[in-house]
Amino acid sequence: MTIHRPSPNGRYRADALFHPESVAVLGADSRGGGQVLANLIEGAFKGAVLPVMTGKQAVSGVLAYPNIEALPVAADVAVLCDDGMDAMDLFTRLARRGIFCAVVIGMVEGVAAAAAATGVRAMGPGSFGICIPGIGLHATRSHIRPKAGRVALVSQSAALCRAVLDWAEPNGVGFSHVVGVGGNTDIGFAPVLDWLSRDAGTGAILLDIRLIRHPSRFLSAARAASRLRPVVAMRAGGLLLDPTGAADAVFEAALRRAGVLVVDRLEDMLAAAETLTLSRPARGEALAIVTNAIGPAQMAADAALRDGNRLAELSSETRAVVQMLIPRAFGPNSAALAPGRTGDIVYVGTDEPIRLAEAASMLSGAQEVGAVLIVHAPTGAQDGAAMAAIAAASSGIKTPLLACVMGETTGASHRRMLAEAGVASFATPEQAMRGFHHLIQDRRNRAVARELPPSAVLEIAPDTARVAEIFAGVRADGRVSLSADEPFAVLDCYGVALSAGMVRVSVADDAMFGPVIRFGRNVDLPPLNLPLAHALVAAGGVILDGDAEADLLVRISQLIVDFPQIATLDINHAKAHLTLRLAGAPPARLALPPYPAELVESFDARGEMLTIRPIRPEDAEAHGAFFARLSPEDIRYRFFSAMRKLSPEQMARMTQVDYSREMAFVAVRVDAEGVSHTLGVARLVCENDEAAEFAVIVQPDMKGRGLARHLMTRIIDWGRRRGLERITGQILSENAPMLAFIRKLGFSIRHLPDETDVVEAELIL
């Protein structure tokens, strides 16, 4: 059959999906379509709503159209509501009409093929739809119209979306986006995360995942998003797929590498949504508890300790200040009922519940307190005043403030009041502690993301030619398993020596993420560097020689990266077993991009040989020293502001590069002691698959030696090979040397609207 591929005068744009000005509803006369149409109209969407239906000229006062061709404008997005639609026919007609974005709510087959053939990008099938309360967009089949807020929910399950929205309404939680990716056949998690990571109105992202079709794209997008805001993920059905739990362990390890917090229960996801969007980042990990009920407070303390969290041990100074306000805070009632580690619970009694807010404010100022939990049991008429006092005090409390407000008859309305005031509120002590646990886990994840690895790099010089020769011999014999001494010979080529006391290390494929490395009972994904390998060794709990074991893991990781034809590797004490993939089988695809060592080269900077290579995390220290050598003028030209030094977050962001979506080439001088010194850097950050933004800077004494031009040439060539269409960059209009420099490279210059001091440079590739 001949497929018509239109020659579009447009193409898919992300803002057409996430900030549309017009929505066409196909199948508006169906049951599902009628619900979507009603939600759009009742949601006060400010754009055009265009029903496509037969037999009616209007519905609910909105003019209807008999078919796609009759639409008066090319809608930004079309919502397909009927089951069993002909995807190829509809997508072809949408493209002819200039509509290149679709949300497929109905169960429709062939969506991926139709999207590839026509250029119409689609979310679904079986999508919940898309809801963006901030612009009144409610193109879903939901029975509830959520209020605006800072939580973004991205889910494959329409039922879970409806359940979460039903929970959110009485709990006062609002949403920036609710996105149903459904079958995840075309527009999946990665492009949605890319949009949400740039959305200023999103505070936390919740992911409900069944299947990740493009792991490398997903992890790349998740890593970019988690740098800027908390990302929490849950995967249902993992144990159904693999009752051993191995698949879930790999899922958690992969997402941890991307900075994502993984939970395994819906209530944990909801607790995380409550805490991470309403609470300030934790200042520390010690929790102080203030209560009007000792028993529930003890339950909260037990839950905290079960999760491995710490309770604050109040200093004598803090106790004295609290006792000035509440003389019996640590008196007979609290001390007798809460001895030992929970003896620092602050008990305000039941007569003056307003003291809860005052005590919480005092505790938040103590250096030994990282967060404060208020545990409130209902007492009667004074409870409303207590809630009002907590809500009023919350804005002045600088540490995270959580509240456990028990009960339903009055407790539910009180929790809603606190949530609307920005206080994370829970119905039980255990739920509150899960929320606190997620807050601490998020703090740790962010600390890891900011961690600057040491400059030490394990330099491996393997004999890859010998390994290739061994594998060729195995293939020639028609085998896939290496026999006799062959596995040892391969490992020896990578400097791996086996011993009887070694902990078991194995490599095998995960169905979703490809090759994974197991050390004892713990798992991680290649590639590994020394810090990651040390973390894997430490997680194993059995350390014979941490440095030696980390070294071993890095070498095995490099072997897997270099030879994707390896199917399995098992090292157990002094024994080794290695198998190759079947002849003709596709090689392994790593979910995380390895360091692109093939891009390393030498450059003659007018008499001095330098190394030009992609930046790596271990360059953090050298990058900080490089920044310190820049002149104030160079810094202002590069960053558009005066900066004295880079923060740890900025340093991590600049050196921990996701090579699948950006590149930074550094010029390096290696001194006599083998220490690397960064002399210049050129960077290209991809905005999407078509465009990227550049930046380049070299230290003052290296100017005039052709280094900046060479770095820019390398980065432009990288962008061209990646398939980019254009490279842009903003430059201060007074920066005459840079303007002259990029003009010589072929860039055009244009002035930006409403910008007198900034121009934009553009190079069409």
Q: For 619-714, where are the E strands, in sequence order?
A: 662-670, 676-686, 691-698
Triad 100, 686, 764: Cα angle to 5°: 80
Two tokens, residue 160: 């879970």
Q: How far apart are CA 211 and CA 251, in angstroms?
A: 11
Q: How far apart are CA 554 and CA 559, in angstroms?
A: 9
Two tokens, residue 282: 């934790």
Strands 101-104 and 121-123 come out as parallel
Phi-psi region at 136: left, alpha or beta (left = phi > 0; alpha = psi -120 to 50): left
Residue from 440, 434, 438, 519 nearest 253 by CA: 519
Sign of CA dihedral 514, 515, 519, 521: positive
Two tokens, residue 754: 């409403």
Q: How far apart are CA 373 and CA 755, in angstroms?
A: 48
pLDDT band, residue 48 (cuts 50/70/90): very high
SS3 240: helix
Strands 662-670 and 609-614 come out as antiparallel
Two tokens, residue 417: 């009041």
Q: Using the predicted structure, report yes or no on whether residue 299 has a pLDDT greater than 80.
A: yes
End-to-end Cα separation, the chain, in angstroms: 36
pLDDT score of 593: 87
Two tokens, residue 512: 């979703």
Q: How far apart are CA 25 and CA 636, in angstroms?
A: 50
Sign of CA dihedral 583, 589, 593, 599: positive
Looking at the DSSP assignment, which residues form a beta bridge with residue 516?
508
Span 596-633, pLDDT tens digits: 989 999 999 999 999 999 999 889 889 999 999 999 99
Q: Using the predicted structure, report yes or no on whether residue 683 has a pLDDT greater than 70.
A: yes
How many CB atoms are closer than 10 A to CB 570?
16
Q: How far apart are CA 222 and CA 259, in angstroms?
A: 7
Two tokens, residue 669: 């001088």
DSSP line for 331-350: SHHHHHHS-GGGTT-EE--S
pLDDT score of 542: 54
Alpha helices in 630-753 (DSSP H): 632-639, 648-655, 707-722, 736-744
Residue 732 near residue 725, CB atoms below 8 Å: no
Q: CB-based contacts of 625: which residues, under 8 Å, 6+ apart? A: 677, 678
Q: How far apart are CA 332 and CA 339, in angstroms?
A: 10
Where does the chain hold its CATH 3.30.470.20 domain(s)? 464-580
pLDDT score of 660: 83
pLDDT score of 32: 81
Span 33-42, pLDDT tens digits: 888 998 998 8
Residue from 722, 742, 728 nearest 658 by CA: 722
CATH entry, 14-197+204-244, from 3.90.1150.10, 3.30.420.40, 3.40.50.261, 2.60.120.510: 3.40.50.261
SS (H, E, C) 138-200: EEECCCCCCCEEEEEEEECCHHHHHHHHHHHHHHCCCEEEEEECCCCCCCCHHHHHHHHHCCC
Q: How far apart are CA 236 and CA 139, in angstroms?
A: 25
Triad 650, 175, 256: Cα angle to 5°: 45
Where does the chain hold its CATH 3.40.50.261 domain(s)? 14-197+204-244, 279-450
Residue 593 near residue 580, CB atoms below 8 Å: no
- Of 502 and 204, the structure prediction assigns the larger pLDDT to 204
pLDDT score of 7: 36
Q: How far apart are CA 286 and CA 268, in angstroms?
A: 20
pLDDT score of 649: 74
Q: How far is CA 519 from the centre of its chain?
A: 25
Give the length of the chain: 765
Q: How far apart are CA 346 and CA 172, in angstroms?
A: 28
CATH entry, 464-580, from 3.30.470.20, 2.120.10.30, 2.70.98.10, 3.40.50.300: 3.30.470.20
Place of tokens 């953090």: 620
Give the architecture-level CATH label for domain 279-450. Answer: 3-Layer(aba) Sandwich (3.40)
| Residues of the chain above pLDDT 70, percent | 95
Angle between helices 411-420 and 383-394 (to 10 degrees): 20
pLDDT score of 541: 60
Q: Using the predicted structure, report yes or no on whether residue 5 has a pLDDT greater than 50.
A: no
Two tokens, residue 404: 């456990």
Burial 627-637 (b: 16+ CB within 10 A, else e): beebeeebbbb
pTM (two decimals): 0.84
Q: What H or E segment, with its residue span, contains residue 371?
A: strand 371-376
pLDDT band, residue 343 (cuts 50/70/90): low
Looking at the DSSP assignment, which residues form a beta bridge with residue 728?
693, 762
Q: What H or E segment, with its residue span, contains residue 730?
A: strand 726-732
Q: How far apart are CA 667 and CA 495, in angstroms?
A: 29
Where does the chain hold its CATH 3.40.630.30 domain(s)? 599-764
Strands 77-80 and 62-63 come out as unpaired
* Cis-peptide into 586, omega within 30 deg: no
pLDDT band, residue 2 (cuts 50/70/90): very low
Q: How far apart are CA 743 and CA 739, in angstroms?
A: 6
Mean pLDDT of all residues in the chain? 88
Residue from 57, 45, 54 nearest 20 by CA: 45
Q: How far apart are CA 384 and CA 410, in angstroms?
A: 9
Q: Using the predicted structure, report yes or no on whether residue 574 has a pLDDT greater than 80.
A: yes
pLDDT score of 331: 63
Hey, what long-range contacts does 266-271 have (CB within 8 A, 24 or more apart)? Answer: 266/160, 266/163, 266/234, 267/431, 267/434, 268/234, 268/434, 268/438, 269/206, 269/208, 269/232, 269/234, 270/164, 270/167, 271/426, 271/431, 271/434, 271/435, 271/438
Span 84-122, pLDDT tens digits: 888 999 999 999 999 999 999 988 899 999 999 999 999
Q: What H or E segment, with its residue span, contains residue 426?
A: strand 424-426
Q: How far is CA 428 from the centre of its chain?
A: 29
* Mean pLDDT along residues 428-437: 90
Residue from 644, 655, 591 nearest 250 by CA: 591
CA within 13 Å, CB half, 502: 22
pLDDT score of 651: 85
Q: How far apart are CA 81 and CA 126, in angstroms?
A: 9
Looking at the DSSP assignment, which residues form a beta bridge with residue 764?
726
Two tokens, residue 28: 């508006």
How many CB atoms are closer than 10 A to CB 494?
21
Order of all β-strands in the sheet with 77-80: 48-52, 22-26, 77-80, 101-104, 121-123
Span 510-550, pLDDT tens digits: 999 999 999 988 999 999 988 889 888 887 665 555 788 89
Sign of CA dihedral 257, 260, 263, 266: negative
Residue at 389: amino acid letter: A
CA within 13 Å, CB half, 491: 23
pLDDT score of 10: 56
Phi, psi of 360 (to 5 degrees): -60, -40
CATH code for the part of the protein at 599-764: 3.40.630.30
Two tokens, residue 548: 């030696």
